[in-house]
Amino acid sequence: MVKRLDGKRIMITGAAQGIGLAMAEAFAREGAALLLIDRDEALLGEATNTLRAAGARVAAVTADITDAAAIAEAVSIAGREIGGINALVNNAGVNVFAEPLASTDEEWARCFDINLKGAWNCCRAVLPGMLENGGGVILNIASTHAFTIIQHTFPYPLAKHALLGMTKSLGLEYAAKDIRVNALAPGYVATQKVIDYWNSFPDPEAAKADTMKLHPGGRIALPQEIAMAALFMISDECPFMNATCLTVDGGLSVQQHPA
């Protein structure tokens, strides 16, 4: 039986938990071989063992995406263990929220190094192989912050706007080489990052309730729901989708005034 991702060798960053792990699980079920990258060695080991126990072909490398040399080496390791990478999901990211004048140079650098430069490091590592082998697909996990602004979240939306710009630029640059570059923009997702955000408030349950009320459906996404959208975009089922962004936020960014 042919599976939806047979023949795909997919590199996923931030793969040890949350949306990244949900994508790895979904991709593996559909026949993909995986290169998992994460900074957390222990969590990455757990994820790798679980996926291998389920029959997936998995290479795993503990690396920081801001380290271009480490990412290039990870791609080389994958070439030896699962074959050349022909699909990339730039999922790793970090929330950096501040009032603009209170934001420090260190916060600015951290935000752009991880959310933008890190994604470019990964693109730059896989693009030569894709060009040599006649095609590939890149999916950048953006955010609704890539086209809307929430006060006091500076400079995170700047980095996500730039990531969307890089998506469009690379998509056009390599379209004639059969390389598609797209973005996926989740809204709120039930991950540890969101739980940590709620826990930063004096009343976490009230903060959670306020988040739910922002959404027309009264709930936020599960990581698996984002993973299934990513699976479609990384597959060959949308060959004419390029240099664009798919929003998966339950209608959050469409609603002008929260209920």
As a whole number, mean pLDDT of residues 207-212 equals: 95
pLDDT score recorded for residue 169? 98
99-141 confidence digits (pLDDT tens): 999 999 999 999 999 999 999 999 999 999 999 999 999 999 9
Q: What topology is assigned to 9-186+222-248 in CATH? A: Rossmann fold (3.40.50)
HSE value, Cβ hemisphere, 13 Å, CA-based, for 25: 17
As a whole number, mean pLDDT of residues 87-91 equals: 99
Residues 6+ apart with CB under 8 A from 103: 96, 154, 155
Q: What percent of the chain has pLDDT over 90?
A: 95
As a whole number, mean pLDDT of residues 177-203 equals: 95
Do 167 and 245 touch, CB atoms closer than 8 A? yes
Q: Is the pLDDT of residue 207 over 60?
A: yes
22-61 confidence digits (pLDDT tens): 999 999 999 999 999 999 999 999 999 999 999 999 999 9
Q: Taking the CA atoms of the chain, what radius of gyration do you get in angstroms?
A: 18
Do 157 and 145 touch, CB atoms closer than 8 A? yes
Question: Within 10 Å of residue 187's Cβ, how many Cβ atoms?
Answer: 21
Quick one: DSSP state of residue 256? S
2-16 confidence digits (pLDDT tens): 999 999 999 999 999
C-alpha 37: how far from its chain's center? Answer: 12
Catalytic residue among 156, 174, 188, 197: 156
Do 146 and 157 touch, CB atoms closer than 8 A? yes
Do 205 and 211 touch, CB atoms closer than 8 A? no
As a whole number, mean pLDDT of residues 169-197 equals: 96
197 is catalytic: no
Cα–Cα dist 91/89, whole Å: 6
Q: Is the pLDDT of residue 258 over 80?
A: no
Do 167 and 140 touch, CB atoms closer than 8 A? yes
Q: Which of 137, 156, 147 is nearest to 243 (CA)?
A: 137
> Roughly what angle, to the nearest 10 degrees, separates helices 41-53 and 18-29?
20
Torsion sign (Cα): 14, 16, 18, 21 = positive
As a whole number, mean pLDDT of residues 241-259 equals: 89
Domain ranges across the chain: 9-186+222-248, 189-220
136-167 confidence digits (pLDDT tens): 999 999 999 999 998 899 999 999 999 999 99
Q: pLDDT grade, residue 257 (50/70/90)?
A: low
